[in-house]
Every structure is written in structure tokens, then in C-alpha cells.
């Protein structure tokens, strides 16, 4: 069975640009969460979506947005990129959002902002 | 506010020796607790979880963890470490308030020496 897939795996952007990251959850999983992992730190929660609705939001600026599609895949958008947005962006799917934390992660999209 | 503390940034153990990674959490209600492992360049994999019941939980790869409410701790243990266990380990708490989110500690890097 396919796990969580993310694209692209690596990308380089310049300050002020925007970026779209994509995630396909495990088949049957209806919840998708996004995390930012800066080098040397633990993942920081950005968003959770379930059944196309936002169910949770972390402490990130409005430059960060996301959405979930009818097939449960998801996009994370970041506008007006800053150098500090350079990080590994992880997507995770969950079979049951009622048990927060039981997450299945993709390998991430590594974003470098120059 | 919920938080997770992993006091040890890195730990070095000899192959075959026992391992204990420390984790302390702060959460007002009964926590959902997790340990994840991250190998270089990869996403996170769930090792084990605690929701309720028996305070000693068994996970994959021979790991176990013990929940101690009085100490707000959830330490990870393994009786005999293998070289392939070298990785970053993250303790996490699942919070079901204000939306669903998982809060991760900063991680402990495990080095295994021959």
C-alpha cells in the first residue's frame, strides 16, 4: 500500500515568492496535517484538515494557508516567502482525527529560500 | 499550554547497551503520548503510543515506554541497542483542545558506537 506522498521533494525559492506543496494521504485516511520542521528542531504544527474543513491551526502567520480536496489530498501554500521559511515541510495523514497524534508521515518537501 | 521537553539533545550508547530517552510533558488533561523516530532524510515513523490503560506500552523495533502521571514523564527504553537504531527520536503529546494537533519535543539524537 502506498504511504503518504509529498511533492516536490526539494525546491528552491527566492524571498517574496510563493510556494505550493502537495500531499496525498494514505488511502482511506480522511485527515491531513501539515508540520514545519526547521533544522535541529522538532516538527511544529501548522494545520489539520478533516473532511475538507480546517480543524486546527498552529501559531503561523496568515501567509500560510492550506486546503483539502474531495479526494482528501491537500495543498499547503506559503506567500511572500522569508528566509526563515526554509525548512522541511511534513505532511501526515491520520485514520482517525479523534485520536490526535496517531500520524503517518510523508518524507517531506525541503524548501530552501534564498 | 501544552508542551514537551526532551532534556537530552544527544545521547551516545554502545551497541548492545540499554537505552533510556527522557520525555516530560505538560498537559492539563489525560494526555495522548507518542514516540516517533526520524532517520536522516526521512519522515517520522511512529514507534509507540499511549492513550489509556496499562502504563507500560510496547512498540515496534523492541522499544517500550512507561507513562508516569506523577512525574509527567513518558520515557522510552530499549534493553539492547542496535547500530540501526541511530536516529532522531521525538516525544509528542496529542492535544484535542482548540482543534486537533500534536506537539513535538525538540528531539534527542541517538548515536550508537561499535
Q: How far is CA B58 from CA A62, A94, B35, B49, B103, in A?
A: 40, 21, 11, 8, 21
CA atoms within 13 A of residue B61's CA, in its CB half-sphere: 18
Query: What is residue A97's predicted lDDT score, i.e. its pLDDT?
Result: 65
Mean pLDDT on B59-79: 95
Chain A residue with Cα closest to B89 = A42
Report yes or no: B46 and B33 within 8 Å, Cβ to Cβ.
no
In chain A, beta strands by DSSP E: 5-7, 10-13, 19-24, 31-37, 44-50, 53-57, 64-68, 74-78, 87-94, 104-105, 109-113
Mutation pick from A6, A30, A43 vs chain B, by most beta carbons of B within 10 Å, is A43
pLDDT above 80 for A33? yes
A102–B44: do the CB atoms touch at under 8 Å? Answer: no
CA atoms within 13 A of residue B73's CA, in its CB half-sphere: 14
Work out the minimum CA distance from A86 to partner chain B, whole angstroms.
15
Query: What is residue A11's predicted lDDT score, i.e. its pLDDT?
Result: 96
Mean pLDDT on B74-78: 98
Compute CA A87 distance to the chain's CA centroid, rounded to the nearest angstrom: 11
A56 → closest Cβ in B42, B49, B98: B98
Chain A residue with Cα closest to B106 = A42
Query: What is residue B101's predicted lDDT score, i.e. its pLDDT?
Result: 81
Nearest-angstrom CA–CA distance, B77 and B22: 9
Averaged pLDDT of chain B: 91
Nearest to B102 by CA among A64, A44, A30: A44
Query: What is residue B99's predicted lDDT score, i.e. its pLDDT?
Result: 61
Q: How far is CA B36 from CA A5, A54, B76, B108, in A?
A: 18, 24, 10, 11
- The model's pLDDT over A34-84, given as tens digits with 9 standing for 90+, comes to 999 998 899 999 999 988 889 888 999 999 999 999 999 999 999 999 999
- The model's pLDDT over B8-51, given as tens digits with 9 standing for 90+, comes to 999 999 999 999 999 999 987 778 899 999 998 778 999 999 98
Residues of B in Cβ contact (< 8 Å) with A104: 46
Amino acid at each position: 500500500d502506498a504511504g503518504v506522498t509529498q511533492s516536490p521533494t526539494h525546491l528552491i525559492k527566492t524571498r517574496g515568492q510563493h510556494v505550493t506543496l502537495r500531499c496525498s494521504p494514505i488511502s482511506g485516511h480522511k485527515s491531513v496535517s501539515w508540520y514545519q520542521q526547521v533544522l535541529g528542531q522538532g516538527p511544529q504544527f501548522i494545520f489539520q484538515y478533516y473532511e475538507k474543513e480546517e480543524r486546527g491551526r498552529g501559531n503561523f502567520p496568515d501567509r500560510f494557508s492550506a486546503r483539502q480536496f474531495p479526494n482528501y489530498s491537500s495543498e499547503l501554500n506559503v506567500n511572500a516567502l522569508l528566509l526563515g521559511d526554509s525548512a522541511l515541510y511534513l505532511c501526515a495523514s491520520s485514520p482517525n482525527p479523534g485520536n490526535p497524534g496517531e500520524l503517518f508521515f510523508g518524507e517531506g518537501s525541503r524548501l530552501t529560500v534564498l | 499550554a501544552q508542551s514537551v521537553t526532551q532534556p537530552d539533545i544527544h545521547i551516545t550508547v554502545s551497541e548492545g547497551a540499554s537505552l533510556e530517552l527522557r520525555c516530560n510533558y505538560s498537559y492539563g488533561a489525560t494526555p495522548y503520548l507518542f514516540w516517533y523516530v526520524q532517520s536522516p532524510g526521512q519522515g517520522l515513523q511512529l514507534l509507540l503510543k499511549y492513550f489509556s490503560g496499562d502504563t507500560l506500552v510496547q512498540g515496534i523495533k523492541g522499544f517500550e515506554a512507561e507513562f508516569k502521571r506523577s512525574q509527567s514523564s513518558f520515557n522510552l527504553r530499549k534493553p539492547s541497542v542496535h547500530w540501526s537504531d541511530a536516529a532522531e527520536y521525538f516525544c509528542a503529546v496529542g492535544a484535542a483542545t482548540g482543534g486537533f494537533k500534536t506537539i513535538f519535543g525538540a528531539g534527542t539524537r541517538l548515536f550508537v558506537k561499535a
